[in-house]
Amino acid sequence: MDCEKQSQIEEWHLIGLLSDFPDISQDNERCHILPACKTLSVPNAKSAQTRNRLSDLNDQVLVFKYKGFLHAIDNQCPHSSFPLKQGNVFDIEDIGAPHGAGIRCFRHGWKFDLFTGKGDSGPHKLNLWDIEVREIEGAASGDKEVWVKRPSQDSQ
């Protein structure tokens, strides 16, 4: 792969404005992600070589806000390749972290920690994307932009 394609894969991608992300913890019943999330197709190194196909779950990042924290994760469950945007988010009470949260895959019920990516069953780990919230130059509203970047291979 040439350097230009590699740099496109590793660059930051604008997702939207911070105000575009309602906090799904306000849905006290089930904390469904689907209505309050954004997904974006971002080619990875393998799919960039075959650009003549439609985007699949391997290329998608899922971004949402839960209890004041923005999360950016692969939209694909690492266990069953099911879209995580159909899952639900929950509090993790037993890990000793003050803001523990996890996501449960709708298909098989497997759970993953949203801060570490660790799964509750087997060796599967959820890919966590890098997130930056940036000031908007000259914006009078005080809103900010949300940017994401695929994690480097070193950090996975």
Q: Can you name the residues that pair with 69 across neighbouring β-strands?
A: 66
> Is residue 56 helix, strand or coil?
coil
How far apart, in whole angstroms, are the C-alpha atoms of residue 90 and residue 22?
16
Instruction: Point out the residues of the chain with pLDDT beneath 70.
Output: 1-10, 26-36, 44-56, 93-99, 153-156
> Is residue 11 helix, strand or coil?
coil
Computed over its alpha carbons, how large is the radius of gyration of the chain? 16
Kindly report the number of other CB atoms within 10 A of residue 64's CB atom: 26
Query: What are the distances in angstroms from CA 65 to CA 19, 71, 76, 145?
Result: 10, 6, 18, 14
Can you give the pLDDT at residue 134? 96
Q: What is this structure's pTM?
A: 0.79
Can you give the pLDDT at residue 46? 59
pLDDT tens sequence across 88-106:
888 886 555 556 899 999 8
Can you give the pLDDT at residue 54? 47
For strands 88-91 and 130-135, give the pairing: unpaired
